[in-house]
Amino acid sequence: MKFLIVTGMSGAGKSTALKMLEDLGYFCVDNLPVPLIEKFAELTYNPNSELSKVAIGIDIRTGLREIGKALNDLRESGCFYEILFMDAMDDVLVKRFKETRRSHPYSGTGRVEEGIRKERKELEYLKGHATYIFDTSKLLTRELKSEMDRVFSKDKGFNNLFITILSFGFKYGIPNDADLVFDVRFLPNPYYIDALKYKTGNDKEVQDYVLNFAEAGIFLDKLEDILKFLIPNYVLEGKNQLVIAIGCTGGKHRSVTLANKIYERLKKEEQYGIKIEHKDIEKDTLRAK
């Protein structure tokens, strides 16, 4: 029996997560009042119950004052549960509320920022006891769906960390959200090769050119080694978003090639959520005459 409690910040994707869990075969109930959690668990854990996977959604609207006692009662009754906490950065939440023109449950007619601050304080206990924390600040819906499927359907390991491999061009500036920045301008630039100038690191010809240099392979090996050391330590530190930025001059050739390759290597681990983005690949698009 899988018993999952889904909660988190308003606007972070709790309702979307419940819909995705429903698609994965979970019996889902949203906005269940806290006093009813134990009773609901008793019904689902009944030997005669046909349910094998259950998810309940709770948030500040359901009343969280007794949540600590309710969870403790569940444990004492022998009910094994997990908590999925949906989160996002405050500025992202503010933007989402403004875009949808919805009021925050805690802000009323006041400022959304104040409502978010109050809610985050109210949810500290649940986040501190969460089994999974999904930060949706930078996740597209399809990326969240992929993560949900990986964790709750394929039963892959989850370490509360989502990694973004990001290629960029130094001429456009270092990404503001980059945690680690690596400069690959030490490699020869395909831009100066006529046959490669109008292509990108997504094209095989550019990849073959860049990877033909021994330094590229050495760089990838050393980068993979340091990331495999750093990532578990970031997990222990509680980090749940990691942006690894790889830059070259224009963000089209070398950085794209090497970002793709390190993404392929890390993706094989299947321990963390991971995606790749090419920030500047389409800027100043060159066209062959």
Beta bridge partners of 166: 245, 277
Confidence tier at 165 by pLDDT (50, 70, 90): very high
pLDDT at 157: 58
Is the model's pLDDT at 90 over the cut of 50?
yes
The last residue of one of the domains, among 128, 152, 176, is 152
pLDDT at 287: 46
Mean pLDDT of 106-112: 73
β-strand pairing of 162-169 with 82-87: unpaired
Contacts of 130 (CB under 8 A, 6+ apart): 83, 84, 85
My answer on whether 187 and 272 are in the same domain is yes
My answer on whether 20 and 146 are in the same domain is yes
My answer on whether 182 and 76 are in the same domain is no
Helix (H) or strand (E) holding 20: helix 14-23
My answer on whether 223 and 135 are in the same domain is no
Burial (Cβ within 10 Å: 0-12, 13-18, ≥19) of residue 43: exposed
My answer on whether 173 and 142 are in the same domain is no
Q: What is the Cα–Cα distance from 81 to 204, expressed in whole angstroms?
A: 48
pLDDT in tens, 45-57: 777 777 889 999 9
Q: What is the Cα–Cα distance from 238 to 135, expressed in whole angstroms?
A: 12
β-strand pairing of 53-57 with 27-29: parallel
The last residue of one of the domains, among 92, 124, 152, is 152
The mean pLDDT value of the chain amounts to 88
pLDDT in tens, 237-259: 778 789 999 999 999 999 999 99
Is the model's pLDDT at 143 over the cut of 90?
no
My answer on whether 126 and 166 are in the same domain is no
The answer to whether the Cα torsion of 128, 130, 131, 132 is positive or negative is negative
Tokens of 136: 């949706």
Contacts of 166 (CB under 8 A, 6+ apart): 175, 178, 243, 244, 245, 246, 259, 276, 277, 278, 279
pLDDT in tens, 175-200: 998 999 999 999 999 999 999 999 99
Percent of the chain with pLDDT over 90: 48
My answer on whether 33 and 114 are in the same domain is yes
My answer on whether 129 and 193 are in the same domain is no
Helix (H) or strand (E) holding 255: helix 254-267
pLDDT at 289: 40
- Which residue range forms the structural domain that includes residue 192? 162-278
Establish if 284 belongs to a structural domain.
Answer: no
Is the model's pLDDT at 99 over the cut of 80?
yes
Q: Count of domains in the chain?
A: 2
The last residue of one of the domains, among 152, 170, 202, is 152
Query: Collapsing DSSP states into helix, strand and coil, what is residue 89?
Result: coil
Q: Is residue 13 within 8 Å of 92, Cβ to Cβ?
A: no
My answer on whether 135 and 172 are in the same domain is no
My answer on whether 97 and 146 are in the same domain is yes
My answer on whether 66 and 178 are in the same domain is no
Establish if 148 belongs to a structural domain.
Answer: yes
My answer on whether 130 and 205 are in the same domain is no
The CATH number covering residue 82 comes to 3.40.50.300
pLDDT at 155: 61
